[in-house]
Amino acid sequence: MVSVDQTARADSMGTSSKTTRILGGVLLAGIALWLFLAFVVTEPDIRIDGTSGQEIGQFDAFRLIYVHVPVVFVAYTAFVVTAIGSIMVLVKRSVWWDLVAGASAEIGALASALTLITGSIWGRPIWGTYWLWGDVRILTTLVLFMLSLGYLAVRRLEGTAEERARRSAIVGILLVVNILIVNRSVEWWASQTIHQDSTIAEAAIGGSKAFTLFYSIVLAMGLFTWMMIHRFRLAWLERQFDRFGLDDALTSRRAEAASVLEGEMS
């Protein structure tokens, strides 16, 4: 097992630091600006049909894109981080990377669930249905979400820290392999069964809309970073707690021996 410096960070019993507090403050202000951009600055998606002259488009439902697309980015980034962490666990035999992989996968699971939920809410008015079987992206994301639940279940299995780290690392690496296979096969399957035009491409995204979308992705990445730092530090503190607990456990375990010896002397 990788040795853990027990004195490091022992003074800080929280998960925040000056940097994260500043980052948190900036992000809070960023969220306020994001709401302003998404609801006030940008227009709803309304276009005029060339032939009939009627108003078409996604109207206010379009604003969901400022949530949906950023969480998609977070979800996929998170699982890339999980995969990198998993590889590093096996290469470096490092528990540090295991905590990174685990923290990232939790955020990834949350983000992929949000992706599915916001996608369904958007799909209802636009596609007329919560669920569209023909869309490769939502099917891939659904399987990804389920794979991540499996990964998180494996993380909770019994064993020493090192056993769990290695076991999880293999599932973490397979998660990426699996999602690539799933994506290929679903795309192929959907192209042969259900024909679906890309709705996103129709809406003209330019000007303030494009800026808001870009801004929301950056903001979401900032939130991801902030959550990662806190979740990782929490996991690190839990580990430290185990290590400190170990000293106590060792002391009380050795005390059993002393009482046995006394019993024999008397």
Partner 1 sequence: MSILSEVRLIMGKDLRIERRSKIALNQVAPFAILIVVLFGFALNADRAALTTFTPGLYWVTVLLASILAVHRSVAIEAGEGAREGLLLSGLRPASIFLGKATALISQIFLVSIVLLGAVVIFYDARVDDAVLLVTSLVSAVVGVGAAGTLYGALLGAQRARETVLPILLLPVLAPVLIAATRAFGDAMGTVATDGWAWTALLASFAAIYVAMGVVSHGVLMEEN
Partner 2 sequence: MAVVALSDVVVLLGRFPALAGATLSVEAGQSVLLQGANGAGKSTLLRLCAGLLRPENGTATVLGSDLFKDRRAVRQKVGYVGHLSMLYDDLSVAENLRFWANAAGVSEKQERAAAERMAIDGRLFDVPVKALSAGQRRRTALAVAAARRPSLWLLDEPHAGLDQAGRDIVDELITDAAAAGGAVLVASHELDRVAPVVDRFVTIAGGLAIEQSQTQQAGGHVDLV
Nearer of residues 65 and 173 to partner 1, judged by Cβ: 173
Q: H helices of the chain, where?
A: 18-36, 65-92, 95-127, 136-155, 161-193, 199-202, 207-265
Distance, in Å, from the CA atom of 29 to the CA atom of 16, rounded to the nearest integer, reads: 18
Q: Per the structure block, which two tokens stand in for 236?
A: 């690190």
Among 7, 52, 53, 158, binds partner 1 (CB under 8 A): 158
Among 7, 54, 160, 192, binds partner 2 (CB under 8 A): 160
Using rule CB under 8 A, residue 187 touches partner 2: no
Nearer of residues 164 and 209 to partner 2, judged by Cβ: 164
Distance of CA 213 to the CA centre of its chain: 19
Q: Given the rule CB under 8 A, which of 170-178, 212-220, 225-233, 247-255 is the region that contacts partner 1?
A: 170-178
Distance, in Å, from the CA atom of 177 to the CA atom of 181, rounded to the nearest integer, reads: 6
Phi and psi at residue 46, in whole multiples of 5°? Answer: -130, 125
At 143, the amino acid letter reads V
DSSP 86-114: HHHHHHH--HHHHHHHHHHHHHHHHHHHH
Q: Which of residues 243-262 bind partner 2 (CB under 8 A)?
A: 245-246, 249-250, 253-261
Q: Per the structure block, which two tokens stand in for 14?
A: 């929280």
Q: Which of residues 210-249 bind partner 2 (CB under 8 A)?
A: 242, 245-246, 249
Binding-site string for partner 1 from residue 82 to residue 121, where x marks contact by CB under 8 A and - marks none: --------x-------------------------------
Q: Per the structure block, which two tokens stand in for 94?
A: 């490092």
Among 44, 125, 150, 207, binds partner 1 (CB under 8 A): 150
Binding site for partner 1 (CB under 8 A): 90, 143, 146-147, 149-150, 153-154, 157-159, 162-163, 166-167, 169-171, 174, 177-178, 181-182, 184-186, 188-189, 192
Binding site for partner 2 (CB under 8 A): 1, 158-160, 162, 242, 245-246, 249-250, 253-261, 264
